[in-house]
Homo-oligomer: A and B are copies of this chain.
């Protein structure tokens, strides 16, 4: 049936012709893009310095069956498949490889179910994070994971990269909200993992194996997500410090005293200045480090007062609680602008994602400053400080080969420092292309061998997002 609908391949391009013909056997024409100008726009995510190839086609399926057909076809023809969400990732995990099918899940964007008693949502992978967040809010619920790109990134992408966000210090990462998945395997078979119940331990936890696997083990086509009751609006406090070390000391004191802030963020002087330059936010530029703490508890003002006192004890030069929700919102907006603002400094950035034990955060920031000096570079740091998760952001002029080389070297040296301090090369952005040479250094040869073995178990032909993670 399908075969009869295949057009004869053009001589000069018979492999691609066969592929596209097979795809069009089941997918409608508007779901299979082959115009090189169009497909090129799907070639890469938001990471710098990551090679991206030329796709043979971009497919935009609307149903599980269509995804299965794409994978079956790719298996038959041994064509690589690169699953994609909104391409807001920062590690090149969604970058095309030459001759691949880009499998964009953005059209599978239905919220299938929201249940306030069971506190779950069932969604397709293309649902935008903010769309889901707003939809569940109407039911008095919250979906906590809030990556900076939450207005555009998709749940499928969040699952693929195991995204974090500002909320993680209290609410954890995406992985903790994924209860069950429907996954299309490399050969097109559909597998259901996990559960829709609050608990469940039937067999190995394959759900969590897929979270953060960057589309290299299978394609998520449906997810059961855990929700929480919507918390009270959070109130934010800003504390200025005369040194990054003091700010990190404050972070340690806050956590050691048992506080549970809903966010605990740090912006260094470079970042503060960049945000002011971009958006005239009026942040205090005399500070060496600005700490933002928030609580969404029953009495956030009381919690902020306690945290403010700890900041002062750690040497804060000024502690300013937001007067109300509007002021809180402004402070968070400033924080969320950080990466964009740093990009404006020199035109290009490499955003690192090193997470260290929070007790080592001070050493990490000190080391980053040393590395910036050594390589004569501007490196701004914003950090999910409560998690020890830093985003050292190297600002450079991509037209300047020497500065680009120094940027790349400093980026690597920051990762090495993170590992030395007992940290990880990636707290929430993933490995992708950008850090795959670093994975072995972090997890060691036995870990790497077993990870490769897992990959081979799920994708024996190596067609799923090849060249990523490893």
Contacts and interface: CB of A to CB of B under 8 A. Distances in A.
Interface in A155-196: 161-162, 164, 168-169, 172-173, 175-176, 185, 189-193, 195-196
A380 interface: no
7 contacts: A197-B356, A197-B422, A199-B389, A200-B427, A202-B439, A206-B454, A454-B454
A212 B201 contact: yes
A450 B458 contact: yes
A169 B192 contact: no
Contacts of A198: 168-169, 355, 358, 386-389, 427
Nearest to A142: B258
A17 B45 CA distance: 61
A384 B199 CA distance: 10
Contacts of A229: 258-260
B197 A387 contact: yes
A1 interface: no
A222 to B, nearest CB: 14
A386 B169 CA distance: 25
A299 B297 CA distance: 12
Contact of A429 (B201, B203, B426, B448): B201
In the complex, which of the residues A162, A200, A389 has the most CB atoms of chain B within 10 Å of its own CB atom? A200
Given A213-B204, A425-B202, A447-B192, A197 B355 contact: yes
Given A229-B258, A258-B230, A451 B204 contact: yes
Interface string A126-168: 0000000000000011000000000000000000011010001
A423 interface: yes
Copies in the complex: 2
B199 A204 contact: no
A457 interface: yes
A447 B203 contact: yes
Contacts of A431: 201-203
A201 B209 CA distance: 11
Contact of A451 (B175, B203, B424): B203
Interface stretch (A55-63, A95-103, A104-112, A114-122): A114-122
In the A-B complex, list the 5 residue pairs whose CB atoms are closest, starting with the nearest. Answer: A229-B258, A208-B208, A198-B387, A200-B424, A199-B427
Nearest to A356: B197
Contact of A355 (B199, B206, B426, B469): B199
A444 B182 CA distance: 12
A359 interface: yes
A124 interface: no
A233 interface: no
Contacts of A448: 203
Given A169-B198, A200-B424, 15 more contacts: A117-B252, A117-B357, A141-B258, A161-B201, A185-B446, A191-B450, A193-B447, A197-B357, A197-B422, A198-B358, A200-B355, A201-B430, A203-B451, A205-B212, A453-B458
A400 interface: no
Contact of A359 (B117, B209, B297): B117
A203 B468 CA distance: 10
A190 B451 contact: no
A148 to B, nearest CB: 15
B195 A424 contact: yes
Given A192-B447, A229-B259, A205 B197 contact: no
B446 A457 contact: no
A454 B199 contact: no
Contacts of A442: 202-203
